[in-house]
Amino acid sequence: MAESLEEQYLIKQAAPKKYGWGQRHKVAALGFFGFFNVYAMRVNLSVAAIKMAEDFQWCGNGTEHNDTLTDDMMSLGNSTSGSGGNCGLKGTILGSFFFGYIATQILGGYFATKWGGKHVYGVGVLMTSILTLLTPWAAETSNTVLIILRIAEGFFEGVTYPAFHSILGRWVPLHERTQISTFVYAGAYAGTVVSQPLSAFLCESDFMGGWPSVFYVCGITGCVWYVFWILLFRSSPEFDPFITKEELAYIVAGRKDANKDETTDPLRFNDDDSNHKQSDTDDTATPWFQIFTSPAVWAIIVGHTVNNWGFYNLLTCLPNFMKTVLDYDLQDAGFISSVPYVTMWFVAIATGTLADMARNRGVKTVHVRKFCQCLGQFLSAITIVAAGYVEGPNAKILAVVAITVSVGAGGICLSGFNVNHLDLAPKYSGVLMGITNTVATIPGIMAPIVTNMIATANPTTEKAKLAEQWKTIFWITGVVYLFGMTFFAIFARGEKQPWADGIRRKNRQSIQ
């Protein structure tokens, strides 16, 4: 009954009191471009590594290395390429990012909850930008220094998702939560779309030495973004000098807990940027035990992890399948690799808007979350399995369609698991995102390894056997999708949880 009372208050009461464009949308726009930058900085090495591998002989003596940008993009993320020789060092350098990235997810959410997400998110992007600027120097110094730098880059970028989830919990009313959050996180896909062809163009140019310009352009852009970020808003709308009184009242009314008669918002806290000192009155502790034993939280963990398993398989493995099994020769790798992410970008934003429209018309949040998650993962499962069976004269076109639909369907899931943290515990949404994204980073490391263990046949002499092995890979991924869909459908919840306001500490008497 708690869900219906809360949604009745937050949606039916707050939603009709519309407030148009305001400071919360500027915060969302800054967040969009923040994720645009961090994903551009994440994927730029994947393109620049093609030229760097030639200069630094990452794949042996360089004679066996692919000569074309297009061919080498097909083998990125794998320890060996189909025809490019041993590129284990390149795979290590590309994968080192994730070892740092997985280490700071929970810390990012915890610190954002304690201090506000603005500074945690901002420092994460700024330090990633500075390290990106240092990448050409690190590569010239030694492979070890470059690997350490990439680990550090992942370390700082790891705080961004949980930190911004904390910002969303304070800045976004419940009835706008899905559309604004999906818009912000769609910046990651936009960054991927722009960065891949732009990086390829810069690598082939003479601008600032060719491939080093990829890192200089992305790093400088991130530093410029930080200046706007630090000046234009505060972590909490209560202490933002640019917000109107009407919008502040609108935001606070839209995020209050309907089950308590409180005069203050439970999410209110003193911002370090304000003239107020940090409050000592918060006597609640993070409910770690309740979080880790909550079936609703585990539904997000499973949904998030399964979604990433399929995403990373699609990102790193399907192109290789198209090359080795279908003899697909991509003439324009930058363009063709961006098509699925353009689709995912638009699907995510459109689904977020439709999801909030449904909730504002009385559809329960839990039903919206489950529907989006199940639809997205069901479509992804069908498509990735179908990719193993495409044949005939139109096989290449069907393969591109399969990739596009599979990645695009993942955009629907952003209105499922990705925003569900805010439904369960807006105060601790950053912590929840840190936990789920920690587990969900593991597929980025494991999925390509599993794929390479299965796809062992020689593409030139055992093509029929290789095709069967890829069918096995796609079936495994499809089953993983279906498991995640089922688990989320059973255990996901859409209402604020009983532990969402924290565990009350016992009052301590000071000794005089």
Reply yes or no on whether the pLDDT at 332 is more than 70: no
Residue 427's pLDDT band (boundaries 50, 70, 90)?
confident
| Structural domains in the chain, sorted by start | 21-255 (1.20.1250.20), 286-498 (1.20.1250.20)
Contact 38, 121 (CB under 8 A): no
Q: Is 424 exposed, middle or buried (0-12, 13-18, 19+ CB in 10 A)?
A: buried
More confident residue, 14 or 125: 125
What pLDDT digit, counting tens, does each position of 182-241 carry?
A: 899 888 888 877 887 788 788 888 888 788 999 999 999 999 999 999 999 888 888 888
What pLDDT digit, counting tens, does each position of 381-395 carry?
A: 999 888 888 877 787
pLDDT, residue 413, reads 92
Reply yes or no on whether the pLDDT at 481 is more than 70: yes
Kindly state the average pLDDT of the residues 318-347.
68
Element (H, E) at 285: strand 284-285
* Euclidean distance between CA atoms 147 and 143, whole angstroms: 6
CA 313, 318, 320 angle in degrees (round to 5)? 115
* Euclidean distance between CA atoms 314 and 406, whole angstroms: 8
Please report, rounded to a whole number, the percentage of residues in the chain having pLDDT higher than 70: 78
Nearest to 102 by CA among 484, 358, 439: 439
What pLDDT digit, counting tens, does each position of 25-69 carry?
A: 999 999 999 999 998 888 788 778 777 877 877 765 544 444 444
Return the number of other C-beta atoms located less than 10 Å from residue 25's C-beta: 16
Nearest to 320 by CA among 506, 216, 469: 469
10-19, 76-85, 178-187: lowest mean pLDDT where? 76-85
* 207 three-state secondary structure: helix
Length of the chain: 512
CA-based torsion, 425, 428, 429, 433: positive or negative: negative
What pLDDT digit, counting tens, does each position of 442-465 carry?
A: 887 787 778 778 877 777 778 788
The torsion of the CA quartet 342, 358, 162, 376, rounded to 10 degrees, works out to -50
* 80 three-state secondary structure: strand
Reply yes or no on whether the pLDDT at 483 is more than 90: yes
More confident residue, 368 or 338: 368
* Euclidean distance between CA atoms 269 and 288, whole angstroms: 21
Reply yes or no on whether the pLDDT at 316 is more than 80: no
Reply yes or no on whether the pLDDT at 156 is more than 90: yes
pLDDT, residue 506, reads 56
Backbone angles phi, psi at 158, to 5 degrees: -65, -20
> What is the SS3 string spanning 488-511?
HHHHCCCCCCCCCCCEECCCCCCC
Kindly state the average pLDDT of the residues 405-410.
88
What amino acid occupies position 327? D
pLDDT, residue 228, reads 95
Reply yes or no on whether the pLDDT at 264 is more than 50: no
